[in-house]
Amino acid sequence: MGWGQKEGVVVDESNQARVQAGAPPSLRAMFFGFSRVGLSGFGGVLPFVRRVVVEQERWLAADEFNSLLGLCQFLPGPNVINLSVAVGARFHGVRGALVCSLGLLGGPMLVALLLGLAYDLYGSLPVAQALLRGISAAGAGLIVAMGWRMGSSVQHKEVFLPFALLAFVGVGLLRWPMPPVLLLLAALSSYVAWRRLERKA
């Protein structure tokens, strides 16, 4: 994975991210961290999860986040909820999974209920429709920006990023079903990674 350890700090050499070694984050810190994500993530919260977990709090290195998100994408259910469960469980087991999920969902659930009532009353107004279209466009931009940052932290880009391009072509352009495309590409990329490790050994 290309990590080194020096003076109590784990260094991810792929993007020079630093993750403090030692005591894991507290349940309180993780609850408020994911609450901040849930309440600030308009149009999709995955970019905000990465910002909090990797860049601000430094609970995970960039490569760790990429690997964990890749795993969560193959699990049933929304990716961001799977990710909150996985991050919480990594540091505090079942308690951490529950705390992170509650922090992520509690605030947005209340806001969504209030907005649902407002939309029922005012959703047909042109200004409300324009606002929703703008939020959707901003959310799409955030997802693209997060994908770019994740791609920049991948080691051996010339080997593994073509798989991301193939996934985009297969699912986004050709409209092939996502599960078989991802399963096939995951199997192929895993085989390539295994062969590279075998050659190094």
Is 10's pLDDT higher than 60? Answer: no
3-state secondary structure the chain: CCEEEECCEEEECCCCEEEECCCCCCHHHHHHHHHHHHHHCCCCCHHHHHHHHHHHCCCCCHHHHHHHHHHHCCCCCCHHHHHHHHHHHHHHHHHHHHHHHHHHHHHHHHHHHHHHHHHHHHCCCHHHHHHHHHHHHHHHHHHHHHHHHHHHCCCCHHHHHHHHHHHHHHHHHCCCCHHHHHHHHHHHHHHHHHHHHHHHC
Cα dihedral 49→172→158→156 (10° resolution): 30
Identify whether the C-beta of residue 3 lies closer than 8 Å to the C-beta of residue 43. Answer: no
Is 5's pLDDT higher than 50? Answer: no
Question: Among 24-33, 77-86, 114-123, where is mean pLDDT lowest?
Answer: 114-123
Q: What is the pLDDT of residue 12?
A: 44
Is 60's pLDDT higher than 50? Answer: yes
Highest mean pLDDT among 51-60, 65-74, 117-126: 51-60
Is 50's pLDDT higher than 60? Answer: yes
Q: What is the pLDDT of residue 129?
A: 81
Is 198's pLDDT higher than 80? Answer: yes
Is 3's pLDDT higher than 50? Answer: no
Q: What is the pLDDT of residue 70?
A: 83
Q: How confident is the model at residue 103 (pLDDT cuts 50, 70, 90)?
A: very high
